[in-house]
Amino acid sequence: MSTTAPSTVRPAPQSAVAWANGFAGIAIFAGSLPATKVAVAAFDPVFLTLARAAIAGLVAVLLLAVLRPARPARADLASLVIVSLGVVVGFPLLTALALKHVTSAHAIVFIGLTPVATALFGAIRGGERPRPAFWAFSVLGSAIVAAYALRGGAEASLIGDGLMLLAILVIGLGYAEGGRLSRRLGGWQVICWALLLSLPAMLPAALLTRPDTFDGVGLPGWLALGYVGLFSMLIGFVFWYRGLALGGIAAVGQLQLLQPFLGFALAALVLGEAVGWPLLAATGAVVLCVAGARRYAH
């Protein structure tokens, strides 16, 4: 028997369970860049992207087989392809390549633009029409990030910053398309179907691009691969979308503003990366701009 999409259920908003699930999802996503930084030190970025998608895809197949959700319609295929290219392939690959040139703390600054990018593609793909003040905050936030990225110094890299900007655009499109599609299919179902759709390509490609030997890969590398494959690609979405469904997208979605700061803390604790005042100031300013943009999004 097929299960119905949870997006049609509207429990009491802003419940403790909703906020707990939303925070858990954001905390998981915040660990993605530090974990990817560790993983790219042990694995090639291309293989890492393929392997993490293959791991999550195999787990998604198991979830779909056990839970048996309603199948997407043929008309949903194009949207699932967009989600797959954005969330499963594009963002992981671009961030893995970027982290060859910049620190994870530096890359986290760009994550502050994710809500703006998502709203931008929401307007294009979902027909949303934010007020003019929203776009003013968006432009200001983008200018702050650009000024920080181009200020020079040991942390700056035109290649790394460019890859991160592309990654944010790609993930914004993937989130917006997935959010639009989840109105009918449900959140966790969307990511599982997207992973399933990419699995026939990602699994063989991962096997073909695997290194000749894994002898030089230590425990941190394997743990990082497991994290980005299971938590960043799949489990985080389960918590995140459940929180949004229970507490409301507008309310619980504000927790995304905490992601850069959680990422800074993880980068400092796990990787021992220095987090200076310019980095914190830039991120704080971007977060304020994103908060203002979200206020005028409707």
pTM of the model: 0.78
Residue 133 · residue 296 · CB < 8 Å:
yes
Instruction: Please return the burial class of 187, using the count of CB atoms within 10 Å of its CB with bins 0-12, 13-18 and 19+.
Output: buried
Q: Is the pLDDT of residue 13 over 60?
A: no
Check residues 107 and 168 and name the one with the higher pLDDT: 168
Give the whole-angstrom CA distance, residue 190 versus residue 196.
Answer: 10
- State the pLDDT at residue 170: 93
> Quick one: average pLDDT of 24-33?
86
- State the pLDDT at residue 9: 42
Return the structure tokens found at 80: 């699932």
What is the rounded average pLDDT for all residues in the chain? Answer: 81
DSSP for the chain, written as a single string: -PBPPGGG----TT-HHHHHHHHHHHHHHHTHHHHHHHHHTTS-HHHHHHHHHHHHHHHHHHHHHHH-BPPPPGGGHHHHHHHIIIIIIIHHHHHHHHTTTS-HHHHHHHHTTHHHHHHHHHHHHS-----HHHHHHHHHHHHHHHHHHTS-SSS--HHHHHHHHHHHHHHHHHHHHHHHHHHHH-HHHHHHHHHHHHHHHHHHHHHHHS-S--TT--HHHHHHHHIIIIIIIIIHHHHHHHHHHHH-HHHHGGGGGGHHHHHHHHHHHHH-----HHHHHHHHHHHHHHHHHHHT--
- State the pLDDT at residue 7: 44
* Of the ranges 3-17, 50-64, 115-129, 183-197, the best mean pLDDT one: 50-64
- State the pLDDT at residue 125: 74
pLDDT digits over 204-242, tens only? 999 999 988 898 899 999 999 999 999 999 999 888 777
- State the pLDDT at residue 207: 95
Query: How would you classify residue 210: left for phi > 0, otherwise alpha for psi between -120 and 50, otherwise beta?
Result: beta
Q: Which residue has the tokens 């300013």?
A: 285
> Quick one: average pLDDT of 194-199?
94
Q: Which residue has the tokens 């691009």?
A: 209
Planar angle of CA 123, 125, 130, nearest 5 degrees: 10
- State the pLDDT at residue 226: 95
DSSP for 176-226, written as a single string: HHHHHHHHHH-HHHHHHHHHHHHHHHHHHHHHHHS-S--TT--HHHHHHHH
pLDDT digits over 137-166, tens only? 878 877 887 677 666 555 667 888 899 999
Give the whole-angstrom CA distance, residue 168 versus residue 174.
Answer: 10
Give the whole-angstrom CA distance, residue 292 versus residue 122.
Answer: 17
- State the pLDDT at residue 269: 77
Neighbouring CB atoms inside 10 A of 234's CB total 21
- State the pLDDT at residue 288: 85
Check residues 288 and 254 and name the one with the higher pLDDT: 288
Q: Is the pLDDT of residue 61 over 80?
A: yes
- State the pLDDT at residue 128: 63
Share of the chain above pLDDT 90, in %: 27
Residue 234 · residue 61 · CB < 8 Å:
no
Q: How confident is the model at residue 126 (pLDDT cuts 50, 70, 90)?
A: low
Q: Is the pLDDT of residue 49 over 80?
A: yes
Give the whole-angstrom CA distance, residue 32 versus residue 231.
Answer: 8
- State the pLDDT at residue 175: 80
